[in-house]
Copies of this chain bind each other. A is one copy, B any other.
Amino acid sequence: MVNIALLGLGTVGTGIVEILEKQNKGIQIKKILVNNLHKKRAVNIQPEILCTDFEEILNDNSIKIVVEVTSDMEKGYEYIRKSLECGKHVITASKAIVSKYFEELSQLAQNNEVAFLYEASVGGGIPVLKPLKEELEINEVLEIQGILNGTSNYILSRMVEEGMDYSSALKIAQDLGYAEADPSADVDGHDTLRKLRILGTLGLQGKILEEDILLNGISNITAFDIEQIKGMNSTVKLVGEVKNLGNAFTATVQPTIIHKNSYLANVNMAFNAINIKGNHVGDINFYGPGAGKLPTASAVLTDVMDVVNNTYRKKNPLGKRQLKNANHKIQGKFYLRVPNRKELLEQLDMVADQMISSKEHTAIVTKEVSFMALMDFVEGFGLKKEEYFLGRIFK
Contacts from A to B (Cβ < 8 Å)? 15, 19, 23, 25, 125-127, 130-131, 134-135, 137-139, 261-263, 265-267, 278, 280-289, 292, 294-295, 297-299, 301-302, 305-306, 309, 311-314
Contact = CB atoms under 8 A, between A and B. Distances in A.
Contact of A281 (B23, B263, B283, B289): B289
A127 B295 CA distance: 19
A194 B287 CA distance: 24
A138 to B, nearest CB: 5
Residues of A contacting B: mostly: mixed
Given A135-B302, A267-B263, A280-B297, A286 B285 contact: yes
A288 B139 CA distance: 15
Given A134-B305, A305-B134, A294 B280 contact: yes
A319 to B, nearest CB: 14
Contacts of A302: 134-135, 137-138
B138 A284 contact: no
Nearest to A314: B309
Given A286-B286, A288-B281, A289-B283, A298 B134 contact: no
A391 to B, nearest CB: 20
20 contacts: A23-B138, A125-B282, A127-B131, A134-B302, A134-B305, A137-B301, A137-B305, A138-B301, A138-B302, A263-B287, A265-B266, A278-B298, A280-B297, A280-B298, A281-B295, A282-B292, A282-B295, A284-B289, A309-B313, A309-B314
B266 A282 contact: no
The 3 closest A-B pairs by CB, nearest first: A284-B288, A285-B287, A281-B298
A136 to B, nearest CB: 10
Contacts of A261: 266
Given A263-B287, A285-B286, A280 B19 contact: yes
A312 B313 CA distance: 10
A171 B292 CA distance: 47
A312 to B, nearest CB: 7
As for how many copies of this chain the complex holds, the number is 2
Contacts of A131: 127, 130-131
Contacts of A299: 281
A263 B266 CA distance: 5
A283 B285 CA distance: 14
Contacts of A311: 311-314
Best-surrounded residue of A125, A139, A261, A284 (most CB of chain B within 10 A): A284
A135 B127 contact: yes
A126 B135 CA distance: 10
Contact of A262 (B127, B266, B306): B266
A25 B140 CA distance: 13
Given A134-B302, A265-B266, A284-B286, 13 more contacts: A15-B280, A19-B138, A125-B281, A130-B131, A131-B131, A134-B305, A138-B301, A280-B297, A281-B294, A281-B295, A285-B285, A287-B287, A311-B313
- Of A139, A281, A314, the most chain B CB neighbours within 10 A belong to A281
A298 B277 CA distance: 12
A134 B309 CA distance: 11
Contact of A282 (B139, B284, B294): B294
